[in-house]
Structure 1
Amino acid sequence: MPESRLSGALMSPKVNLMVDMGNPFLNHTLDGFLKIGGVAAAKAAAEETYKMGKRGSVSGQSLEQSVRKMCKEGAYWGTVAGVYVGMEFGVEKVRGTRDWKNSLIGGALTGAIVSTASGHDKDKIVFNTIAAAAIATAKDFLAYLT
């Protein structure tokens, strides 16, 4: 009796786009902005495509609104990622070591900066700082497990 076997590997695609800004800090920051901003824009595009499909119609106004949302989401999340990557890189250079503590500090600084720039009150800034630090640290611990 013939036997068949299916095997494979699931790997995430690597996208490396290097824009040399002449400074490693700026290079890392721009890289984070472009990668995460692109992901956020793609997410917004998928959501908007679903909404248009559900409505069953596409108009010039809905396309324009979708492009605006893609740009807004991409710019926001790209900026957050750029700030985080820049903070983590800067902390690594200041501390002279590469470990999970850089992610913790970089995440906390990013949470505080983004929350303050968004005009939140003091309590919300503290909560966002703690959340961003925890998420950034969890990212390192999860990467260590895989």
Structure 2
Amino acid sequence: MEDYDRACAVGGWAGLLDVGSSDVRALVLADEPATSRYLPEQQVFVRWLAADSEGELVAAAQAVLADPGIEWEDVGVWETDGPAVLMDSTTPGAELNKEYPDGGLPEQAPVALPAGRWRVRAVHTTGEFPWVGVVKLLPEAPC
């Protein structure tokens, strides 16, 4: 099974899966294709499910983060060696910096993340408009 197929098979709002034959694990923002961005100040990924503007989306994410009653899905622990890349799972990681035959590079966004272990929690709100997905990273003490 290809990494793309395994990424598509992730259940829940996010998941962790082994990549290639190394001990590297990828964080997969799962469920459906959605424009996503990383907010480094809060160490969260925000997924655009349904909103009229980016401002409305970020405000909805901030409301989720401030709500102590939100029930988060525990995804597991993601260990990184530093900055990561937010990318579409249809692009193999080895091809991120390879130019397309007709020009341009695959879409990607840097994720300014310090090396460490991160407890990953996720939630999607789909009740009242707007709808937002939030995947937050919490520092986890080393084993």
Normalising by structure 1, report the TM-score: 0.22
Larger Cα-atom Rg: 1
More relative contact order in 1 or in 2 (CA 8 Å, sep 6+)? 2
More strand by share: 2
